[in-house]
């Protein structure tokens, strides 16, 4: 496929009818540059290509945006149109392929809706095909057009030729999905899918003939055939489970990637989120401490009430002590003793105490004082109790004071933690950011799931390998039995022949895919070395395409280096891979396919850019660059001119009304423009 010209009418930023011509085929002057600042319509050109060829209304960088939200019809034209007036828009692409000329036109109508929104409706597609003799046929049936376009550039491989910088970089990420995408692309581009379909067809025929054979052959052979049938069913089930595991892995990897992207937004506040978690944990701990202290304090609550009357206790005790000192209480000499002294008129020391004497009267008075024994006993008991209470009051007071102190400290901690948490939350800002921890958790779960899935994949691979070995043994046994009976049995002969064809195709497939993987690795290494800067060359050694089509790069010491590769190097590696793929597909000729690159140098350093400009135009028939003013400078223009690769230059110029004009420029004018832009910077 060689692109000749693109014409746009009221498409994206391009109001009215505008267009430009692409440069080249063959190895010289085959670079076309679309040059413009951000928002001028470089990606609009890319969209126009995909819209025209495949009817795509969204491109990969739109993410999950629904196609109804992407306005393809020029907004200014719609705004300028009278109410309820339809604005017609179309993209026309002229290209050649295998000596035929194609003119593909795809249209879209747009108008302003009742709520100011833009309503867009496809208006059809038309493909004119002219052969070398000038015979022309026209296709207007969308399915027929689609078939024809896919014949020229299959949708399955278009991503290898029409892509943006990010897409290039993603190509070498070793995710399951990426691996599948690469495998799909390689199979399409190198015709492996036709080979695989042929193998499947032969498997079907083999099975059919085996079934016929089971009913007509000897019992030994019938048993082997039956076992083989069961084994094959088992293998289909294992393969299907492997597919499921791969799909789940791809899904989990996508999810993890999404979580990683979301987490990336939290990066700046991650330390705050962690700090908040620490503070939340501390707060919880302090609240538990406070609760435990309160629980403990409850056990003292009944006793601690006495602290309220401690002064009263002390005063009462003092009163009793004075009484005691005065001998009023306790009645230390019991009433019975006094009565005996009075009755016997003799003291316990033997001295006589006669009635009427002073001693007798004193004892008589004492007897009267101690006669209210009930009160005195109670007073004595109260004195004892008060004494005990007073001695406990000290410990109780100290304990309660200690509890209160500890509780107060914990409460202070709680208050300051709450304040700190509030401050952190204010810094973190919007509530959605609280999802960071949830995302971390989700990421952990996804990582675990991926480990499980990968382990399951390895187990299933092993089971499938074992089954293949068993099948090989059974096939050998079957072949020998078949040979025994084949002399007499036509069905056996047919089954044997079908099996030989199946085995041959399978063997060719295995050899062929191993061969092309090796070749792609070899060619990719060769170009990668040419593209790398000196520093990269010192470290990186070779690119290898693994059995599962994942790409690996090894350092000069033979260790895997992919995880450590820089973004720029990754981009170069992907480009090397695509170039290698194209070279294998074209059997070392120049593949007639344009390489359409949006934002090609975004991640590349000067030396890498120079190498790319030097090498890329040599391996593809056309190189179309959509570059910004920071990506494409006089330096790059000079390099292209020097290599005789400079083809055409289309300046996407901003107009006053916000639209873009495509202005074709000569080398000299382009150089002048680039110099002006550089001086402005």
From 80, 451, 504, 514, residue interacting with another protein (rule: CB under 8 A): 504
Choose between 147 and 274: whose C-beta lies nearer to another protein.
Answer: 147
- How many residues sit close enough to another protein to count as binding (CB under 8 A)? 34
Interaction mask 146-185, another protein, x per CB under 8 A: ----------------------------------------
Assess 520 for contact with another protein (CB under 8 A): no
From 81, 205, 345, 382, residue interacting with another protein (rule: CB under 8 A): 205
Q: Is 475 helix (H, G, I), strand (E, B) or coil?
A: helix
Q: Edge-to-edge, what's the strand order for the sheet holding 118-130?
A: 14-21, 2-11, 87-97, 100-112, 118-130, 136-139
Give, in degrees to the nearest 5, the angle at Cα 408 between 403 and 410: 95
From 111, 183, 198, 414, residue interacting with another protein (rule: CB under 8 A): 198
Choose between 161 and 320: whose C-beta lies nearer to another protein.
Answer: 161
Q: How many C-beta atoms lie closer than 10 Å to residue 220's C-beta?
A: 13
Tell me the CA distances in angstroms from 329 to 339, 369, 418, one per residue in order.
Answer: 18, 10, 60
Q: How many C-beta atoms lie closer than 10 Å to residue 172's C-beta?
A: 24
Choose between 189 and 225: whose C-beta lies nearer to another protein.
Answer: 189
From 494, 530, 537, 677, residue interacting with another protein (rule: CB under 8 A): 494
From 497, 539, 654, 671, residue interacting with another protein (rule: CB under 8 A): 497
Identify which range of 63-71, 197-205, 533-541, 543-551 contacts another protein by CB under 8 A.
Answer: 197-205
Site for another protein in 534-593 (CB under 8 A): 584-587, 589
Give, in degrees to the nearest 5, the angle at Cα 14 between 12 and 16: 120
Identify which range of 169-177, 196-204, 260-268, 383-391 contacts another protein by CB under 8 A.
Answer: 196-204
Query: At closest approach, how far in Å is the CB of 546 from another protein?
Result: 20
From 197, 441, 472, 538, residue interacting with another protein (rule: CB under 8 A): 197
Query: At closest approach, how far in Å is the CB of 482 from another protein?
Result: 12
Euclidean distance between the first and final Cα of the chain, in Å?
Answer: 38
Give 159's DSSP letter: T
Q: Is the preceding peptide bond at 330 cis, omega within 30 degrees of 0?
A: yes
Say if residues 61 and 166 touch (Cβ distance below 8 Å).
Answer: yes
Positions of E strands within 368-461: none
How far apart are alpha carbons 330 and 384 in whole angstroms?
Answer: 11
Give the pairing of strands 162-164 and 591-598.
parallel
Give, in degrees to the nearest 5, the angle at Cα 140 between 135 and 141: 125
From 200, 398, 427, 556, residue interacting with another protein (rule: CB under 8 A): 200
How far apart are alpha carbons 13 and 183 in whole angstroms?
Answer: 36
Site for another protein in 62-121 (CB under 8 A): none
How far apart are alpha carbons 148 and 128 in whole angstroms?
Answer: 11
Q: Which of 279, 271, 280 is nearest to 427 (CA)?
A: 271
Say if residues 395 and 307 touch (Cβ distance below 8 Å).
Answer: no
The secondary structure element, H or E, covering residue 647 is strand 646-654
From 64, 336, 355, 490, residue interacting with another protein (rule: CB under 8 A): 490
Query: At closest approach, how far in Å is the CB of 19 from another protein?
Result: 30
Cβ partners under 8 Å of residue 526, min gap 6: 580
Identify which range of 191-199, 319-327, 431-439, 552-560 contacts another protein by CB under 8 A.
Answer: 191-199
Say if residues 8 and 17 touch (Cβ distance below 8 Å).
Answer: yes
Assess 671 for contact with another protein (CB under 8 A): no
Query: At closest approach, how far in Å is the CB of 83 from another protein?
Result: 49
Positions of E strands within 546-619: 551-555, 591-598
Identify which range of 65-73, 174-182, 400-408, 511-519 contacts another protein by CB under 8 A.
Answer: 511-519
Choose between 111 and 192: whose C-beta lies nearer to another protein.
Answer: 192
Buried b or exposed e, range 127-163, using 16+ CB within 10 angstroms: bebeeeeeeeeebeeeeebbebbeebbeeebbbbbbb
Assess 493 for contact with another protein (CB under 8 A): yes
Say if residues 2 and 592 touch (Cβ distance below 8 Å).
Answer: yes
Query: At closest approach, how far in Å is the CB of 525 from another protein?
Result: 20
Interaction mask 320-359, another protein, x per CB under 8 A: ----------------------------------------
Query: At closest approach, how far in Å is the CB of 5 from another protein?
Result: 25
Query: At closest approach, how far in Å is the CB of 189 from another protein?
Result: 7
Choose between 332 and 518: whose C-beta lies nearer to another protein.
Answer: 518
Q: What is the DSSP string of 180-239?
A: HHHHHHHHHHTTHHHHHHHHHHHHHHHHHHHHHHHHHS-HHHHHHHHHHHHHHHHHHHHH
Identify which range of 263-271, 451-459, 512-520, 531-539 contacts another protein by CB under 8 A.
Answer: 512-520
From 511, 657, 664, 672, residue interacting with another protein (rule: CB under 8 A): 511
From 228, 498, 540, 624, residue interacting with another protein (rule: CB under 8 A): 498
Choose between 236 and 508: whose C-beta lies nearer to another protein.
Answer: 508
Query: At closest approach, how far in Å is the CB of 451 from another protein?
Result: 37
Query: At closest approach, how far in Å is the CB of 209 from another protein?
Result: 8
How far apart are alpha carbons 547 and 179 in whole angstroms?
Answer: 10
Buried b or exposed e, range 9-32, using 16+ CB within 10 angstroms: bbbbbbbeebbbebbbbeeebbbb
Query: At closest approach, how far in Å is the CB of 500 from another protein?
Result: 5
Choose between 1 and 627: whose C-beta lies nearer to another protein.
Answer: 1
Give 258's Cβ-side CA count (13 Å radius): 10
From 189, 272, 417, 595, residue interacting with another protein (rule: CB under 8 A): 189
How far apart are alpha carbons 259 and 441 in whole angstroms?
Answer: 10
Query: At closest approach, how far in Å is the CB of 619 from another protein?
Result: 16
From 400, 464, 501, 522, residue interacting with another protein (rule: CB under 8 A): 501
Site for another protein in 209-228 (CB under 8 A): 209
Query: At closest approach, how far in Å is the CB of 89 from another protein?
Result: 34
Identify which range of 189-197, 230-238, 596-604, 655-663 contacts another protein by CB under 8 A.
Answer: 189-197
Say if residues 467 and 237 touch (Cβ distance below 8 Å).
Answer: no
Choose between 208 and 465: whose C-beta lies nearer to another protein.
Answer: 208
From 1, 73, 108, 202, residue interacting with another protein (rule: CB under 8 A): 202
Query: At closest approach, how far in Å is the CB of 491 from another protein?
Result: 9
Positions touching another protein (CB under 8 A) are 189-191, 194-195, 197-198, 200-202, 204-205, 208-209, 490, 493-494, 497-498, 500-501, 504-505, 507-508, 511-512, 515-516, 584-587, 589
């Amino acid at each position: 496929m060689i692109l000749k010209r693109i014409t746009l009418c009221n498409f994206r930023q391009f109001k009215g009818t505008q267009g430009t011509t692409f440069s080249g085929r063959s190895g010289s002057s085959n670079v076309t540059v679309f040059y413009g600042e951000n928002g001028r319509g470089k990606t609009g050109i890319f969209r126009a290509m995909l819209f025209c060829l495949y009817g795509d209304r969204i491109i990969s960088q739109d993410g999950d945006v629904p196609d109804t939200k992407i306005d393809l019809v020029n907004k200014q034209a719609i705004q300028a149109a009278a109410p309820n007036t339809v604005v017609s828009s179309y993209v026309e692409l002229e290209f050649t392929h295998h000596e035929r000329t194609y003119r593909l036109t795809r249209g879209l109508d747009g108008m302003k809706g009742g709520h100011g929104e833009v309503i867009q409706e496809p208006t059809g597609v038309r493909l004119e095909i002219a052969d070398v003799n000038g015979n022309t046929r026209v296709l207007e049936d969308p399915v027929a057009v689609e078939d024809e376009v896919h014949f020229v550039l299959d949708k399955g491989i278009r991503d290898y030729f029409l892509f943006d910088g990010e897409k290039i970089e993603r190509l070498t990420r070793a995710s399951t999905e990426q691996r599948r995408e690469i495998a799909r692309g390689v199979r399409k581009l190198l015709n492996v899918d036709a080979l695989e379909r042929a193998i499947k067809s032969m498997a079907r025929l083999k099975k059919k003939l085996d079934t016929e054979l089971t009913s007509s052959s000897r019992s030994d052979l019938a048993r082997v055939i039956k076992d083989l049938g069961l084994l094959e069913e088992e293998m289909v089930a294992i393969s299907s489970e492997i597919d499921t595991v791969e799909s789940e892995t791809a899904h989990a990897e996508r999810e993890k990637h999404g979580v990683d992207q979301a987490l990336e937004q939290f990066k700046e506040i991650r330390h705050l989120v962690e700090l908040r978690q620490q503070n939340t944990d501390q707060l919880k701990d302090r609240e538990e401490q406070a609760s435990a202290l309160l629980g403990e304090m409850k056990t003292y609550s009944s006793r601690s009430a006495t602290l309220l009357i401690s002064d009263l206790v002390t005063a009462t005790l003092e009163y009793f002590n004075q009484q005691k000192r005065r001998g009023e209480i306790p009645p230390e000499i019991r009433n019975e003793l006094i009565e005996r002294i009075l009755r016997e008129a003799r003291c316990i020391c033997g001295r006589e105490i006669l009635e009427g004497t002073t001693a007798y009267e004193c004892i008589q008075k004492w007897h009267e004082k101690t006669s209210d024994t009930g009160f005195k006993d109670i007073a004595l008991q109260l004195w004892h109790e008060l004494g005990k209470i007073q001695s406990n009051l000290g410990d109780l007071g100290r304990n309660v004071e200690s509890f209160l102190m500890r509780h107060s400290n914990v409460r202070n901690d709680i208050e300051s933690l709450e304040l700190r948490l509030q401050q952190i939350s204010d810094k973190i800002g919007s509530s959605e950011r609280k999802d960071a921890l949830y995302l971390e958790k989700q990421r952990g779960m996804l990582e675990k799931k991926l480990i499980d899935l990968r382990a399951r994949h390895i187990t299933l691979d092993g089971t499938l390998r074992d089954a293949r070995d068993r099948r090989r043994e059974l096939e050998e046994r079957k072949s020998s039995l078949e040979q025994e009976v084949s002399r007499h049995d036509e069905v056996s002969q047919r089954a044997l022949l079908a099996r030989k064809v199946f085995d041959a195709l399978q063997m060719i497939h295995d050899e062929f895919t191993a061969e092309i993987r090796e070749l792609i690795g070899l060619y990719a290494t060769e170009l990668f070395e040419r593209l790398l800067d000196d520093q990269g060359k010192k470290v990186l050694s070779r690119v290898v395409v693994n059995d599962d089509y994942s790409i690996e790069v090894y350092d000069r010491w033979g260790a895997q280096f992919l995880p450590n590769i820089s973004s720029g190097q990754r981009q170069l590696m992907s480009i090397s891979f695509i170039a290698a793929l194209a070279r294998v597909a074209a059997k070392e000729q120049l593949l007639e396919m344009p390489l359409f690159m949006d934002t090609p140098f975004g991640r590349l350093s000067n030396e890498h850019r120079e190498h790319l400009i030097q090498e890329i135009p040599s391996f593809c028939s056309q190189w179309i660059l959509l570059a910004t003013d920071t990506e494409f400078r006089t330096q790059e223009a000079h390099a292209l001119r020097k290599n005789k690769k400079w083809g055409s230059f289309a300046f996407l110029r901003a107009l006053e009304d916000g639209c873009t004009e495509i202005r074709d420029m000569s080398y000299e004018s382009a150089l002048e423009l680039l110099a002006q832009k550089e001086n402005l910077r």
